[in-house]
Structure 1
Amino acid sequence: MAKDLGVKPKYVSVDAANRAEFLISNKVDITLANFTVTDERKKQVDFALPYMKVSIGVVSPKDKVIKDVKELEGKTLIVTKGTTAETYFEKNYPNIKLQKYDQYSDAYQALLDGRGDAFSTDNTEVLAWALENKGYEVGITSLGDPDTIAPAVQKGNKELLDFINKDIKKLGEENFFHKDYEKTLHPTYGDSAKADDLVVEGGEVK
């Protein structure tokens, strides 16, 4: 994308909770940080066409694996602040105790330390993590309606938004996102996920 724009990209690290804020305050021009499209976020930023689709997943220790959301009642669920998982559980399961962290790394460490019974975020995240941490299992692979992940720009930045959408469509014609999945994500997921279940090609959700 930067190549097509003719610029050199500068990468900025963001927490899940401040992805929109960094756009609003002009700290970044584009957010590409596992940013799930929601109606609430649409009030703050403009989303381009999506490139991935996800659901909420829950990972827990294999010897005490959580396979049904009802099993979380009376237990502590770890979430990252500002994520769709946090919003989903607050809205649909207010009786489940949430333990919140600013960083994904801190949330995963809390699970490893036994400070919570399970951790919830996008299924793409927990599936990859569980493959690298053999004592853990994604007992719940899909909660709620599927969501999409997309680039975001500052509200009203139509010129940049139109460019990104045009670029995503062009890349879709080259099957870029499937090729990129095979190169970057398939080595992580292996047979636990299929490209067509996660990848959105050319911005068209199927």
Structure 2
Amino acid sequence: MKRKFLALGFVSLVVTALSAPAFADDLADIMAHHVIRVAVPTDYPPFGFVGPDMKPKGLDIDMANLIAQKLGVQLQLVSVTAPNRVAYLQTNKTDLTISSLGKTPERAKVIDFSVAYSPFFDAVFGSKGIQASTFGELTGKVIAVTRGSMQDDELQRLAPGAIVKRFDDNNGTVAAFLSGQTQMFASGTAVASAIEQRHPDVDMALKVVLSNAPCYVGMNKGEPQLLAKVNQIIRQAKIDGDIDKLSKQWLGAPAGSLPE
């Protein structure tokens, strides 16, 4: 499903922050310069990755496009990794971080968070023909999971009747499903998306959501106008249905009720 808001006049991927302009991280400055710098992942599908055309794609990329479009400014994407996505905000290399960022008490001490824009699912995936849309229907199903992972704990708690086969790492878990050793596997949506990228013909669909840890837009503290504007855009996107459409496109399930 292609989103119309992807068609911005110009989008540039900035691999290093050194090429980003050095102006203040503030809504007034963003509007004055007609540019917003957004930190995004490019190595973490389905939230952000580089497609065959060498252009960034993913849920977080689409969300950055949406915010830039609603502000009426040019979008400048800054490629980040999990360890530096908050640091880039703090050192004024980006205005926003849209990088599958969860809200934690530690992070809340140093940056502010928007309202949630996306779910982050742990789920059970399996062949499309298998009927399993509830925890009860997982009873007797053979499910691969990584030993000691959050998904392992969730399966034990929510689907005690499932036949769980445990593997020592994600590669083993995925290989068990792909080779037919198990009917299903439990993982985060990012792992499932990576499988679809590598094996586009795989017979796989999301069956049951185990948990949801939403994603938020991060920004520096002391930016109440920017925070209010981003929240306004996200809330309107929820009303318009854009948030649900993005979640269905990239995560395979609607966003549902996201926290404020």
Pair in the same fold by TM > 0.5: yes
Bigger CA radius of gyration: 2
Aligned to 2:233: 167
In the alignment, does 2:103 pair up with 1:37?
Answer: yes
What is the aligned counterpart of 2:188 among 123, 145, 161?
123
Which consecutive unaligned segments of at least 5 residues does structure 2 have? 1-66, 126-141, 151-167, 175-186
- Structure-1 separation of matches of 2:198 and 2:123: 16
Query: SS in structure 2 opposite 1:21?
Result: helix
Q: How many residues align?
A: 149
Which consecutive unaligned segments of at least 5 residues does structure 1 have? 60-64, 78-84, 86-97, 100-107, 112-116
- Inter-CA distance 18–142: structure 2 relative to 1 (3 Å threshold): farther
Q: Is the 8 A contact 1:48 1:151 kept in 2?
A: yes
Aligned to 1:89: none
Query: SS in structure 1 opposite 2:225?
Result: helix
- Inter-CA distance 26–66: structure 2 relative to 1 (3 Å threshold): farther
Write out aligned runs for 1:51-200 (5 A): 51-56=117-122, 67-68=144-145, 72=147, 111=171, 117=172, 123-134=188-199, 146-182=212-248, 184-185=249-250, 193-195=252-254, 199-200=255-256
Once superposed, what is the RMSD of the aligned Cα atoms?
3.9
Which AA in structure 2 matches 1:31?
Answer: T
TM-score calculated relative to the size of structure 1: 0.56
Which AA in structure 1 matches 2:214?
Answer: T
> Which structure features the higher share of strand residues?
2
Aligned to 1:62: none
Give 1:58 deviation, angstroms: 10
- Inter-CA distance 58–169: structure 2 relative to 1 (3 Å threshold): closer
Aligned to 2:84: 18
> Which structure features the higher share of helix residues?
1
- Inter-CA distance 16–163: structure 2 relative to 1 (3 Å threshold): same
Aligned to 1:47: 113
